[in-house]
Amino acid sequence: MGQSMRDIKRRIRSFEKTRQITKAMKMVAASKLRKAQEQAESSRPYAEKMHDVIVNVARGTKGYNHPMLVSRPVRKTGYLVITSDRGLCGGYNSNLLRKLQATLHERHQSQDEYVIFVIGRKGRDFLKRRGLPVIGEVTGLSDSPKFADVHEIAKQAVQFYADEKFDELFILYNEFINPIIQRPVEKRLLPLTGEELRDSEGTAAGATAVYEYEPSPEAVLDVLLPRYAEALIYSALLEGKASEFAAKMNAMSNATDNATELIEKLTLEFNRARQAAITQEIAEIVGGASAQG
C-alpha cells in the first residue's frame, strides 16, 4: 500500500509540473494573440483600400484585359498553404492539411495537375513526407511577421501565374473569427475576377470618384495588381498567426483543465489509499491488543 501511495504522489507531482507549464504557455499565447489580432485587423483597411483603387482604375481602362483579371483554361493549379512552425496548437495544422488533402483528392487526378507553395515547417514536413510537389517554402517566421518575410514567396507565386506556369492560384489558411473559433478556408487568389472585384449586387465595388492616373490607368493597373495579390497573401498570413495563437491558447487551456482534473482524481485516490492504510493499521493494533488481552 505504501508503494502505491508513493506512486500516486509521484504522478500528482508530475501533473502539477505539467499544469504549471501549460498554464504559462496559455498566458504567453494569450499575450501574443492580442498583438497578432491587432496586426490582422490593421492589415484589412489597407487591402480594402487597395481593392477600391484597383476597381476604380479598372473602370478607366476601357476594356484593358490584364492577365490577372482574365480567366483561362485550367491545366495546372497552384496552392499556397499557410501553417505554423510549431505544434501544441490543437487542430490548427491538422484541420487545414486535412482540408488540403480532401481538395487535392477531389479536384485532381494526378500530381502533375498542381503545385504547392507552403509557409510553415509543419506544413512543409507534412507535404514532403507524402511526396507532394512543393516548389516554394518559407519557415522560421517570427511571431510578428513582416511583409518582407513572405515577399519572395508571394512574388514567386504571383509571377508563376503571370508566366502561365499554372492557371489559377488558391490560398489555404486558418481564418480568425474570434479567440474561440478559427476556421480553415480556401480562397481563390488568382485570377482576380468575379466576386473578387464586385459586390453582392454584381456592380463594381469601391468609391465612385473619378481620378486621373499617370502615365495611364493601364500602367498603374500593371503595378497595382501584383502588389494587391501579395498584400492578400500577407493579410492571410496575419490571420493565420492570430488563429495559431488562439488555437494554442485554447489547447493549453484544455491541457491545464485536464491536468487539474487528473490531479483531483489522483488526490482523491491518494486520500482513499491513505485512509485504507490507517484503517488497516488501527485494525492490526486492535487485533494485537485483543490477542494480548
Q: Residues 118, 209: one domain?
A: yes
For 182-195, the pLDDT digits (tens) are: 999 999 988 876 44
Report the range out of 19-28, 48-57, 215-224, 268-277 with the highest average pLDDT. 19-28
pLDDT value of position 134: 94
If pLDDT is split at 50, 70 and 90, which confidence band does 1 have? very low
Among 21, 16, 26, smallest CA distance to 261 is for 16
Please tell me the distance from the alpha carbon of residue 274 to that of residue 125, in angstroms, as a whole number: 49
User: Which residues form the domain of 257?
Assistant: 2-26+251-292
Task: Output phi, psi for 66, to 5 deg.
Answer: -75, 140
Q: How far is CA 139 from the centre of its chain?
A: 14
For 230-248, the pLDDT digits (tens) are: 888 999 999 999 999 999 9
Q: Residues 46, 109: one domain?
A: yes
Q: Residues 190, 122: one domain?
A: yes
Q: Report the percent of the chain where pLDDT is more than 90.
A: 54
| pLDDT > 60? residue 280 | yes
Compute the average pLDDT of residues 128-152: 92
| pLDDT > 80? residue 157 | yes
**What is the domain-level CATH number for residue 149?**
3.40.1380.10
pLDDT value of position 63: 64
pTM: 0.82
Please tell me the distance from the alpha carbon of residue 271 to that of residue 279, in angstroms, as a whole number: 12
Q: Residues 188, 257: one domain?
A: no
| CA distances in angstroms from 153 to 86, 147, 230, listed in the order given | 20, 11, 9
Q: Residues 288, 188: one domain?
A: no
Catalytic residues: 89
**Do 88 and 248 form a contact (C-beta atoms < 8 A)?**
yes
Q: Which residues of 216-248 are buried (b: 16+ CB within 10 A; e: fewer)?
A: ebeebbeebbbebbbbbbbbbbbbbbbbbbbbb
pLDDT value of position 293: 58
Compute the average pLDDT of residues 179-207: 68
Cell 519557415 found at? 139
Q: Residues 119, 40: one domain?
A: yes
The DSSP output letter for 204 is: B
Higher local confidence (pLDDT), 174 or 281? 174
Q: Residues 223, 286: one domain?
A: no
Among 180, 176, 154, 151, smallest CA distance to 249 is for 180
For the four alpha carbons of 95, 83, 185 and 143, in that order, the dihedral sign comes to: positive
Among 185, 169, 293, 177, smallest CA distance to 228 is for 169
pLDDT-wise least confident of 63-67, 131-135, 145-149, 195-199: 195-199
| pLDDT > 70? residue 120 | yes
Cell numbers for 129, please give them.
Answer: 513526407
Residue 89's SS3 state is: coil
- Counting the structural domains of the chain, the total is 2
pLDDT-wise least confident of 126-130, 187-191, 197-201: 197-201
pLDDT value of position 207: 46
